[in-house]
């Protein structure tokens, strides 16, 4: 599956980075960078948590 | 096809005894159903975790045009990001958060940590103090005043203005009626505030600079200042008061954080889950909504009970226990989705700083009985005497 970021909605809360540090990180400007977009297996589980904890629903999986 | 009959209860969400301790009523309502009709308040209460989270995500069905429980406040909030729906909301929200998001606030952590540490160190040395006045109120008032750049008259009135701004979101009861004039003072001040009234270099001054540059629409800076103060003071005070009260009542949980400071964010999540600072928040149902098999009719006023969802045993094991290691990162206290609390980044900075300072400097707190005063929307402790601090 693929992680999709609604960039205008992202405010840089960073909870996704804590949930899935291997998949995404905030850069020095506080902008979210998806290090990996296609996920399956264990990574899919981590991606699901990241999507779930985003407080402004800026992430989804398709 | 919906077949279940709509559940009804005679609970009055805004009765004094419910406002002071809503959790027994939350449990009764949650067992009745995910949505329960309350004729006393002319609302449908949303009570279960999944129902609340789904409603918060579904802005098309659950409109924010009626977040308050009386028509006057909803009228007054018209045109703010708080009370609007996409697509209008999207731009208003971006304007509001441009200076408030974690991205905008990065770099403030050291300064806020230092303020918290200095305040807690002073109180530990003093040994006895009122935890609400001396800590839970003092700290956010200082942080928010410095951040927005409040001085003089505005700084002196922040506490009562912030309290009134939340009270008037309730139904048209005596508390709301008494607080409208005070909320009006805040509104009036924000309508006439200019850049020069706010301290140079502050975020508040930055909002006016953005307006002058045309980055945000004309005449919006004052409204943004209004929302920072209206939403960001009373709720944070409640949360920090709850931190002190819960650590005092559960010294074993403080000890866990003392031994493992990486638990600070988890501890704050659990404080927010266990006692939500916001009691009820409104939505208007735009079309018939089926909830747990029963229909909430189009046009109904909804009351979202964050605290009821946070104690839903369908979602959290042993929900009535305060356990800092649980890390309930998906609690409902900040809401969720497009209207998720815009100030949650600042709230985390403040509360993490206080919890970290307490965990380093305090072994145990001996407190007297807490006093609560009924309040329409914010549930907070009014007085909490700390009798003795056992230092770390």
Residue-wise pLDDT tens digits, B192-227:
999 999 999 999 999 999 999 988 888 889 989 999
**Cα–Cα distances in Å, from B299 out to B61, B62, B74, B226, B290?**
10, 10, 15, 29, 13
Yes or no, beta carbons of A19 and B329 under 8 Å apart: yes
With CB atoms and an 8 Å threshold, state whether A53 touches B90: no
Say which residue, B108 or B1, is predicted with more confidence.
Answer: B108
**pLDDT for residue B96:** 87
* pLDDT (0 to 100) of residue B92: 87
Q: Which residues of A touch B103 (CB under 8 A)?
A: 11-12, 29-31
> Are the beta carbons of B376 and B14 closer than 8 angstroms?
yes
Q: Within 10 A of B318 (CB to CB), how many other CB atoms are there?
A: 8
Which CATH number does the domain housing residue A9 bear?
3.30.70.20
The pLDDT value recorded for residue B107 is 86
Q: How far does the CA of residue B134 sit from the closest CA of chain A (Å)?
A: 29
| Structural domain containing residue A40 | 3-61
Number of domains in chain A: 1
pLDDT category of residue B99 using cuts at 50, 70 and 90: confident
**pLDDT of amino acid B194:** 93
The count of CB pairs under 8 A between chains A and B is 46
Model pLDDT, residue A48: 95
Question: Quick one: pLDDT at residue A20?
Answer: 95
Q: What is the mean pLDDT of residues B312-324?
A: 98
Average pLDDT on B371-388 reads 98
Give the phi and the psi of residue B52 in degrees, each rounded to 5.
Answer: -65, -45
Q: Does A33 touch chain B (CB under 8 A)?
A: no
What would the pLDDT profile of B242-289 be if each residue is shown by its tens digit? 999 999 999 999 999 999 999 999 999 999 999 999 999 999 999 999
Question: How far B335 CA sits from the closest chain A CA (Å)?
Answer: 8
Q: Which residues pair with B44 in a beta bridge?
A: B37, B302
Structure confidence at residue A61 (pLDDT): 96
Mutate to test the interface with A, among B327, B345, B346, B348 (most CBs of A within 10 A): B345
Task: For each of the domains in chain B, give its residue range(s) and CATH number, in order of start.
Answer: 7-391 (1.10.630.10)
> B278, B235 in Cβ contact below 8 A?
yes
The candidate with the shortest Cα–Cα distance to B73, out of B161, B176, B174, B160, is B176
ipTM higher than threshold 0.85 = yes
CB within 8 Å of B100: residues ≥ 6 apart: B203, B228, B342, B343, B345, B346
**Averaged pLDDT for residues B177-181:** 98
Q: What is the mean pLDDT of residues A27-31?
A: 91
Helix boundaries (H) for B85-220: 88-97, 102-105, 109-126, 131, 138-148, 152-167, 174-192, 203-213
Mean pLDDT of B29-39: 97
Q: Does A12 sit within 8 Å of B106, measured CB to CB?
A: yes
Closest by CA to B308, choosing from B293, B319, B318, B300, is: B319
Closest CA to B187 of B149, B156, B145, B157: B157
Whether the CB of A48 is below 8 Å from some CB of chain B: the reply is no
Average pLDDT over residues B35-55: 98
In angstroms, the separation between the Cα of residue B37 and the nearest Cα of chain A is 28
pLDDT at B121: 98
Question: Mean per-residue pLDDT for B108-120?
Answer: 97
Q: State mean pLDDT over B31-42.
A: 98
Identify which of A8, A9, A53 has the shortest CB distance to residue B329. A53
Kindly calculate the radius of gyration of chain B based on its CA atoms and give it in whole angstroms: 21
pLDDT at B3: 58
- Asked if B103's CB is within 8 angstroms of A11's CB, the reply is yes
Mean pLDDT of chain B: 95
pLDDT at residue B2 tops 60: no
């Amino acid at each position: 599956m693929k992680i999709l970021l609604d960039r205008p909605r992202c405010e840089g809360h960073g909870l996704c980075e804590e949930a899935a540090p291997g998949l995404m990180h905030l850069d020095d400007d506080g902008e979210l960078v998806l290090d990996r977009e296609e996920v399956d297996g264990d990574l899919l589980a981590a991606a699901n948590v990241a999507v779930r904890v985003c407080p402004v629903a800026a992430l989804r999986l398709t | 096809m919906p077949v279940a009959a709509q559940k009804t209860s005679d609970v009055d969400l805004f009765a004094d005894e419910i406002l002071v301790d809503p959790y027994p009523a939350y449990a009764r309502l949650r067992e009745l159903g995910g949505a329960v009709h309350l004729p006393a308040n002319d609302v449908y209460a949303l009570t279960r975790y999944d129902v609340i989270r789904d409603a918060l995500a579904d802005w098309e069905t659950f409109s924010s045009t009626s977040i308050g429980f009386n028509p006057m406040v909803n009228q007054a909030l018209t045109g703010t990001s708080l009370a609007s729906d996409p697509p209008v909301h999207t731009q208003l929200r971006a304007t509001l958060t441009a200076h408030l998001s974690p991205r905008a606030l990065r770099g403030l952590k050291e300064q806020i940590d230092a303020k918290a540490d200095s305040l807690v160190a002073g109180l530990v040395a003093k040994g006895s103090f009122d935890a609400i006045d001396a800590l839970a109120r003092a700290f956010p008032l200082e942080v928010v005043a410095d951040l927005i750049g409040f001085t003089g008259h505005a700084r002196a009135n922040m506490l009562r203005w912030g309290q009134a701004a939340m009270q008037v979101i309730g139904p048209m009861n005596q508390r709301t009626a008494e607080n409208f004039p005070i909320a009006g003072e805040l509104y009036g001040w924000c309508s006439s505030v200019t850049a020069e009234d706010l301290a140079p270099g502050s975020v508040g001054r930055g909002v006016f600079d953005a307006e002058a540059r045309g980055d945000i629409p004309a005449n919006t800076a004052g409204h943004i200042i209004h929302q920072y103060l209206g939403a960001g003071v009373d709720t944070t005070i409640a949360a920090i008061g709850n931190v002190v009260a819960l650590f005092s009542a559960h010294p074993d949980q403080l000890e866990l954080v003392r031994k493992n400071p990486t638990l600070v964010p988890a501890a704050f999540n659990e404080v927010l889950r266990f006692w939500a600072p916001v009691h009820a928040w409104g939505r208007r149902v735009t079309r018939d909504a089926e909830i747990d098999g029963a229909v909430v009719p189009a046009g109904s006023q909804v009351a979202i009970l964050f605290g009821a969802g946070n104690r839903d045993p369908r979602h959290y094991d042993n929900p009535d226990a305060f356990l800092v290691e649980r890390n309930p990162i998906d609690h409902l206290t900040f809401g969720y989705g497009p209207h998720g609390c815009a100030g949650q980044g600042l709230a985390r900075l403040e509360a993490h700083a206080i919890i970290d300072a307490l965990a380093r400097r305090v072994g145990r707190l001996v407190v007297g009985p807490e006093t609560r005063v009924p309040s329409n929307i914010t549930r907070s402790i009014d007085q909490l005497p700390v009798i003795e601090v056992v230092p770390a």
